[in-house]
Structure 1
Amino acid sequence: MTHITPSAEKAKASSPSLLAGIPELLPGLALTAAIATAAVITRNLTGWAALSPLILSIILGMATRNLFTVSATLESGIAFSLRRLLRLGIVLLGLQVTVGQVLSLGGAGLAMVALTLAVTFVAIRAAGRALGVERELVDLIAAGTSVCGASAVIATNTVVRGRQEHVAYAIACVTLFGCLSMFTYPLLTAPLSLDARAYGLWSGATIHEVAQVVAASFQAGDAAGTFGTISKLARVAMLAPLVMVLAVAVRARQGGASKASAPMPWFVLGFIAMMLVNSAFDIPRDVNATLALANTFLLSMALAAMGLQTDIRKLKAEGWRPLALGAFGWLFISAFGFAMLRLFGF
């Protein structure tokens, strides 16, 4: 006679329920994957590397949400993409940078990048309060401008818990002003008397998105492109401590509120772990490239889900003040970054 222990009975009972939830996720996952695929294909067809699939995904998701009726059967898969796949994508983001790359900037370069990031974040928060912009939206614009664009916005939102309209507005700001930098920076190389190293550092320390940095910095040559990419990756690495500090600040501000209202972003530790793995092991270039594509696709699915939950009417209701804040952040980080460049002798 076979005896089944209580723990075995519990496992047996729970397994079917776990498996039963998977079919409910599939329709929504299929929709977010389809939108992410369309975004990637569109970027590839245009051949414009700076046209981020992340941005295209949220735009396509918003169009779908506001032009068509999104069935209730899709909601669970959309929510899964927005929460679980988002965190997985942020963890994999750590594989795009190594400790060696960050340290290769040297003490002065790292200090310049870190100071520009920190002071810009604080300045945007102060300006946001003066303009009367909602605190959550201010934090998202500040993170997207000072760190790494859309990726920083969605990572920060796991802590500040802004509305989907806040996230969409913040991403629109960093996209708009990052693109302006991408087009104007190459024109400023000669007037500002910047050599390849200085121009690359300035671009990487101040332009919003990674793709925008690559597009702008390589226009001044391979050396400028290399310095631009490395300094930008240093900013990406600083996303982890920023989100952790924000989490502590939010929890303190809420005066010991429940963990559900101010979660500690433990997935950021996964980001750090992946960065250390990428630093400790020589991952083949083709494997790393594949992982980078997978990471982009996961984050695109998450942003597609975000777009599918964004009401354009509510987005319009945010008004002009957040846009003015985004413009202030763009001008501030550009000017302050240049001042730091000269201060540190580049």
Structure 2
Amino acid sequence: MNCAALTGGERETRPMNALPRIDLEHAAQTDTPAVAVKHHAEPYRQHTIRTLAPGLFLAALIAGLALVLRQAPGVGAFSPMIIAIVIGMAFHNLVGTPARARSGVAFSMRTLLRGAIILLGLQLTIIQVAEVGAAGVAIIATTLGATFAFTLWFGRLIGVERKLAELIAAGTSICGASAVIATNTVTRAHDEDVAYAVACVTVFGSIAMFAYPLLPGLLHLDAHGFGLWAGASIHEIAQVVAAAFQDGKQAGEFGTIAKLTRVMMLAPMVLALGFATTHRMKSKGPDHTQARPPMPWFVLGFVALVGLNSAVAIPEDAKAWIATLTTFLLSMALAAMGLETDFRKLKAKGARPFLLGLAAFLFIASFSLMLVKLAG
């Protein structure tokens, strides 16, 4: 609770448990001993930890449960992030998220999320992009850009709010739930919008995961072509792996590399979207300039770790541990998102966003297939 200045000449009021502000620079220039500053600072840190702990524990508990449930038969094809948000939404709407957990939940959705996205960089290398080849990279990049543009255009056409359309566009064109929550650091949509977008990419990515393995023969695609098509168009990494390996080891490995190349494009996309949003707000006048979204510096951390992973041989055991930690943190972020999602607000959005997700899925599948066939 923040201090509030009362009007009408009344004195400033402050909650009894509020801490006095400490001006460290002033303290250094006066006789205030460093011990006194430390004495005031320590209770604040403890108060912050106590505030965050319940929400962090709840999000971590759900994330851990999601990782365990993923081992169950028939569930392994779904990302732990997807399972975590489903559990979080069920808990919030059936039981209710405790008020004292809200601070930790918000911390998980923002700070932990950014850290996890940075760590994603250690799962990618420049060499992987080279293996796809210039033609493959061109197909992936063109598909990504065209799908994002089409989704925004069709969203405007059918009356879907721009922020929600941007999230569905990012999730469909790049990497599912990870792209949705990364894009929302710039878009700043409501939690229900994020949940709706994640639901869309989960449903249609799952459909693609089961449908794609039935099509290589019908579409006359070899292992390389099928892997490229799957990697360039299916939403989640886990879904790409599950679908591409159904056509053999070569298709599976190439599909995975193509998908990771697509994931690497998350960084420039989020940066470009951040600049575009800032420019759009500035054009509305000075009142909107102050509200512009922050520069997504965490994306630069993502790029830096991609470079580090390309230049330095990180032990496989360490990379496996980091990959597990990254998945766990992302699952915590999605669990927190679910803990803030109200089904009644989702229902109020109607069927139009779902129609947009379907249209985006059909577009990316057909457009990327056309490019793969043209490239031979």
Q: TM-score range by the shorter chain?
A: over 0.9
Equivalent residue for 2:184, pick from 147, 157, 173: 157
Aligned to 1:263: 294
Alpha-carbon distance in 1 for matches of 2:55, 2:168: 28
How many angstroms does 1:285 deviate by?
Answer: 1.4
Q: Percent identity of the aligned residues? A: 54
What SS is found at the alignment partner of 2:72? helix
Give 1:317's aligned residue: 348
Paired AA for residue 65 in structure 2: A
The Cα of 1:45 is off from its aligned counterpart by 2.6
Which of 285, 294, 300 in structure 1 is aligned with 2:316?
Answer: 285
SS of 1:104's equivalent? helix
**Deviation digits for residues 77-126 of structure 1, max 9, x if unmatched?**
11111111111111111111111101211111110110011111101110
In the TM superposition, what are the counterparts of 1:122-271 in structure 2 within 5 Å? 122-255=149-282, 257-258=288-289, 261-271=292-302
Q: 1:11 Cα shift?
A: 5.6
Q: Could you say which residue in structure 1 is the equivalent of 2:357?
A: 326
2:106 to 68, 74, 79: 79
Partner of 2:18: none
Shift of 1:238: 0.0
Q: Which amino acid aligns with 1:343?
A: L
Aligned position for 2:303:
272
Offset at 1:48? 4.1
CA separation in 2, counterparts of 1:72 and 1:239? 34
> What is the match of residue 23 of structure 1?
50
Structure 2 residues not aligned, in runs of 5+: 1-26
Aligned with 1:5: secondary structure?
A: helix
Q: CA RMSD in A?
A: 1.5
Equivalents in 2 of 1:188, 1:211: separation in Å? 19
Give the drift of 1:259.
5.6
SS in 2 for 1:240: helix
SS at match of 2:299: helix
Contact conserved, 2:277 with 2:292, CA < 8 A, in 1? no
Match of 1:299 among 330, 339, 346: 330
Larger Rg: 2
Spell out, residue by residue over 1:218-251, the C-alpha distance to the aligned partner (whole angstroms, 9 max, x if none). 0111100111000000110000000000000111
Moved more, 282-291 or 321-330: 282-291
Query: Structure 2-normalised TM-score?
Result: 0.88
TM-score by length of 1: 0.95
Q: How many aligned positions are there?
A: 342
What letter corresponds to residue 45 of structure 1 in structure 2? A
Q: For CA contacts below 8 A with separation 6 or more, give which structure has more relative contact order.
A: 1
The answer to whether the Cα contact below 8 Å between 2:245 and 2:251 also exists between their aligned partners in 1 is: yes
Deviation at 1:70, TM superposition (A): 2.2
Greater CA drift, 17-26 or 235-244 = 17-26
